[in-house]
Chains A and B, each alone.
Chain A
Amino acid sequence: MRLDIEDVTVETAGARLVEDIRLTADSGQFVGLVGPNGSGKSTLLRCVYRALRPAGGVVRLDGDDVHAMAPRAAARVLAALPQESSAEFDFTVAEVVAMGRLPHRDRTAASDREICAAAMNRTGVAHLADRGFLALSGGEKQRVLIARALAQQPRVLVLDEPTNHLDIAHQLDVLSLVRAGGLTVLAALHDLNLAAAHCDVLYVIAGGRAVASGAPHDVLQPALLAEVFGVRAHPVRHPETGAVQLLFDLLPPKTFQPTT
């Protein structure tokens, strides 16, 4: 399923958090959002999974405006992993995954169980089914939440920094898991090398605007990275895969301007 973000603008208390962003994710594509903290990535994603209504612009799924769709109908085709994690009620893993079935109609207890079991098997959390969600490690939690998203049987998946707080093995694990699903994916990612390795298309967001987009190695150029992230980047080739990897330094001090 194709996802189009058309000139989306978000305003809060007079401040523009997101300004006229256009983005397209073709069916089955993995599209990454990168950008410094506070650049508007999460805000943009919230507009996509309907937690936020944009002040202007439209988000379309195969041409349909998601904010005009019935909430459950939208949730049947689009699932999300928001960054929040509530720690008040100790649901079991099986219960958390079962929440993914909520938007669906015509379901039976048996079919729900089957779909949830399949989702948990795919993300390797079946053995945790009866454990409390709150007591899990960060990596386990993330895999459980992905299982919930898969149980939702969506065609588009939105991920807000899915690799936060995960060790490197779990980071790779989570992204390849998502990648293997064949879904259209829109993900905000912090790690530029992970983003470069997993995304088909990258959008660079800075100050609420999309300042660059394209194939990762075209986008992640030293000049742009210096401008947007304030770092000096050295592209090098991965010795085995040949993928472009970046090494970083702070920019030389002389480029810092006094803020007063």
Chain B
Amino acid sequence: MPPLVLGLALLLLVSVVCGVGLGAAGIGWAEVLRLLRAGLTGGTIEAGDVSAYAIVWEIRLPRVVLGAVVGAGLAAVGVAVQAMVRNALADPFVLGISSGAAVGANAVILLGAFAGLGVWALSLSAFGSALAAMALVYAVARSPHGLTPLRLVLTGTALAYGFEAVTTVMVFGAARGEAARSAMMWLLGSLGGATWAQVPLAAVTVAAGWAWLRLRAEALNALAMGDETSAALGVRPARLRRELFLVTAAVTGTVVAVSGAIGFVGLMVPHVVRMLVGADHRRVLAVAPLAGAVLLVWADLLSRLLLTPAELPVGVITAVVGVPAFLLLMRRGGYAFGGR
């Protein structure tokens, strides 16, 4: 197992360098590496390099780093949600989070809400509405027996339709060329707006969420076996599910606020990782975030390169790669869906 983690970490490093080295503006590899080194070690660059330096350090690198953070976050949260609702087909968006966040984001994009917050309006509004959506799902799904998996999934799915309806009304009511396009971009997910300013908060939240999940890995194993089994093993299932809900809300809200609703990573990555290392959450949680980071860095790179100089939403790439891969895995047997 450690070789796999090490290999993925190396692969992530290589992917980041590739993500920085490739792009619409043709900058040679030697140049890119020299500029990266100059930025890291504080070396000097020539006057002619300033625009290339800016592209590498101010445009590409934050975007690639943010992509890795978002991918890791989505994968980690995917593992958490699947254990929480005890269903390997769940992902963070099943709980209505992304559609909730979309309402807030589009209120900003289309209606100019929260203009007083300036450049932070979009992120904060998306984050706030993601949390509000989660709170609503939580309140509706709660029953005298705590949060049961089925109620969570059904409530999340039902409310997601409601949130989507609100978004649609906004798009229809306010769409003006560029704004509608930007709303679309956001709904499918994009890292096009990445800046360094977004990285620290997202990175810290994802890292903290991941660390917390790794501490609870064994309890997640018990939870995946059933609430009664968990109770008999000294885990409080209702409380653990509440905590998972909060962590999921915080990480997903943060991630969605900076990247929009990127689908399939949270669903696919945990699946593929389980096929590689088995179901034990101690191993799944060690590997899945790294795999998610690698996947998203490459998906984002493709989204930039395929139609250069135009960009596809990265969610389109994850879906194009994800759907066939998913179907292939499902047909290949050897993987238990609800039993056999």
Contacts and interface: CB of A to CB of B under 8 A. Distances in A.
Contacts of A85: 226
Given A87-B338, A88-B88, A91-B280, A103 B224 contact: no
Given A51-B228, A51-B231, A86-B226, A99 B279 contact: no
B310 interface: no
A93 to B, nearest CB: 11
Interface string A69-82: 01111111011101
Interface string A86-130: 111111100110011011000000000000000000000000000
A88 B235 CA distance: 19
Interface in B281-337: 335-336
A179 interface: no
B292 to A, nearest CB: 19
A132 interface: yes
Contacts of B339: 87, 134
A94 to B, nearest CB: 9
Contacts of B88: 88-89
A78 B232 CA distance: 8
A31 B233 CA distance: 22
B243 interface: no
B279 A95 contact: yes
Contact of B226 (A13, A72, A84, A132): A84
B164 interface: no
B336 A90 contact: yes
Contact of A102 (B222, B227, B335, B340): B222
Contacts of A99: 218, 221-222, 225, 229, 233
A96 B225 contact: yes
Contact of B87 (A49, A72, A88, A132): A88
A46 interface: yes
B340 A134 contact: yes
Contacts of A158: 232
A84 B234 contact: no
Nearest to A95: B280
Contacts of A75: 232-234
Give the residue among B225, B274, B338 with the most A Cβ atoms within 10 A. B225
B227 A51 contact: yes
Interface residues of B, number: 30
Contacts of A88: 86-88, 224, 336, 338
A185 to B, nearest CB: 14
Contact of A82 (B221, B232, B274, B279): B232
A152 interface: yes
A137 B196 CA distance: 55
A190 interface: no
Contacts of B218: 99, 102
A91 B226 contact: no
A50 interface: yes
A86 B339 CA distance: 9
A85 B235 CA distance: 17
B234 A74 contact: yes
Interface of B: 83, 86-88, 144, 218-219, 221-222, 224-229, 231-236, 274, 278-280, 335-336, 338-340
25 contacts: A49-B228, A49-B231, A71-B236, A73-B234, A75-B232, A82-B229, A82-B232, A84-B228, A86-B225, A88-B88, A89-B336, A90-B335, A91-B225, A91-B280, A92-B279, A95-B279, A99-B225, A100-B233, A102-B233, A102-B234, A103-B234, A134-B336, A134-B340, A152-B233, A158-B232
Given A73-B234, A88-B224, A99-B229, 11 more contacts: A51-B227, A75-B234, A82-B229, A87-B336, A88-B88, A89-B274, A91-B225, A91-B279, A95-B280, A102-B218, A132-B336
